[in-house]
Amino acid sequence: MKAYRLLTEDDTSAFCHKVTEALNKGWELHGSPSYAYDHGTGKMRCAQAVIKEAEGEYSPDVKLGGL
């Protein structure tokens, strides 16, 4: 199965750590990162899509963070 996740976080080092952790767990970058202003919090937010080929069949119950 091919898995997809969209990682998001405020524009701090926490976002870079989140993406780095995913890469070290075998996820691959998919497309370009996004950067936008969140009017609700008054902060900039980052997003990066990642994909991973994983064993098994897809189900909505799959915990993507655990792959």
Taking only the tens of pLDDT, the chain with its 67 residues reads 999 999 999 999 999 999 999 999 999 999 999 999 999 999 999 999 999 999 999 999 999 988 9
CA–CA dist 40, 32 (Å, integer): 24
- Give the model's pLDDT for residue 25: 96
The structural domain count of the chain equals: 1
Instruction: Output the CA torsion 24→27→28→32 (10° steps).
Output: -100
Give the global pTM: 0.88
Domain of 9, in residue numbers? 2-56
Residue 62 in domain: no
- Give the model's pLDDT for residue 46: 98
Residue 40 in domain: yes
Residue 20 in domain: yes
